[in-house]
Amino acid sequence: MQLPSFINAEFVFYGIVFLAVVLLLEGGFIWYRDNFGTKRRVSKRMALIESGATSEEIITALRRQTTDVSKSMLPSIINYLDSRMNQAGIRMSAQRMLSYMGSVTLLIGFLFPLIGGISGQITSPGAVLLLLLFAGGIGIALPILYINYIAAKRLKKIEAQFPIALDVLVRGLRAGYPVSGALELVVNEMPDPLASELGLVLAEMNYGSPLRDALEGFAGRVQTQDINMFVVSVAIQTETGGSLAEILDSLTRVIRDRAAMVLKVRALASEGKMTGTLLTAMPIITFVGVFSSQPSFYLDVVDDPWFMPGALGVMFLYVLGVVIMRRLIAIKV
């Protein structure tokens, strides 16, 4: 299957490259504006309040779309992606993200042979497997790697901001504010991403949700040890009584001591984690780069009888290596 004679394949290819570069530059500009812009809002919730949004509109804007896993054929994948997107602050549902990934994968799998002029070579099972791996690498693997990167970066910010937020919360409680009032002080003083997460907690409370349920939702979205300890402490205080300010003050000291230990452990394990990240990402990036620039490097050997067993064996060893590396570098403190 070839392109019509009146369409220049090279022109189409460079047009797509130009569009990709424009979108990349636009995305970079938006990221820079949101992270370093001088007119950046303190938090999304404050911006919504200033615009006159109601409590229901604030909750809808801050709370991300959820996925009904019971209606999905891929519950484990949906759960993993949903958790990482929560941590990354991406408001789209995991099911919709997967549908976009699948659409992009199919589009690349259809267009690349036409644009690259290799459609006549995609005839054997090995060639089809290569094309699927290439399209899946761009449409699925690279977006997941990017989501993981954004999630890890955002969680580090939240963990760094959380002890300061607890200090503000304790001062508010000691000044006589109720829990909701002290939380509002935190939301008003802290920047994103923690401000938006706690703003959602406050919006849910104002909308009638119990404090414990709102905090459990917060812990479920972020899934860090510090926030889990905070939610458990508040839940125990709610049931047994006592001074919440004193409990949270003690918790703040524990979190700061733990943070110092975590920094030491991260410093010792940083080389291993960087190595694991590179060994996970580089095979995908290398394969995508080589296949997109020189597809004959792989297509010339797809008819070899050892190609399919070798390719499947490499894929199995890659997945096994990623699982083992993740277990080795997943040091919990």
Tens-level pLDDT at each residue, the chain (333 residues) = 344 444 444 444 455 555 555 555 555 555 555 555 444 444 555 565 566 665 555 555 555 544 444 444 456 777 888 888 888 888 777 878 888 888 888 888 888 887 777 767 777 777 888 888 888 888 888 888 888 889 988 988 998 899 999 999 999 888 888 888 888 888 888 888 888 888 888 888 887 788 888 888 888 888 888 888 888 888 888 788 778 888 888 888 888 888 888 778 777 777 777 887 788 888 888 888 888 888 888 888 888 888 888 888 888 998 888 888 777 766 665
Distance CA 138, CA 144 (A): 10
Q: Do 105 and 67 belong to one domain?
A: yes
Looking at beta carbons, which pairs linking 320-326 to residues 24 or more positions away fall under 8 Å?
Answer: 321/279, 322/280, 325/276, 325/279, 325/280, 326/276
- CA gap 133, 152 in Å, rounded: 26
Closest CA to 247 of 261, 228, 230, 259: 230
User: Do residue 217 and residue 177 come from a single domain?
Assistant: yes
What CA–CA distance (Å, rounded) separates 106 from 118? Answer: 16
Based on the fold, state whether residues 21 and 115 are members of the same structural domain: no
Residue 24 and residue 115 in one domain: no
* Same domain? 134 vs 17: no
Count of residues making up the chain:
333
20 & 119 share domain:
no
Residue 48's pLDDT is 57
pLDDT in the model for residue 330: 66
Domain residue limits at 20? 1-40
Do 26 and 118 lie in a common domain? no
Which residue in this structure is represented by tokens 């972020």?
222
Residues 254 and 181 in one domain: yes
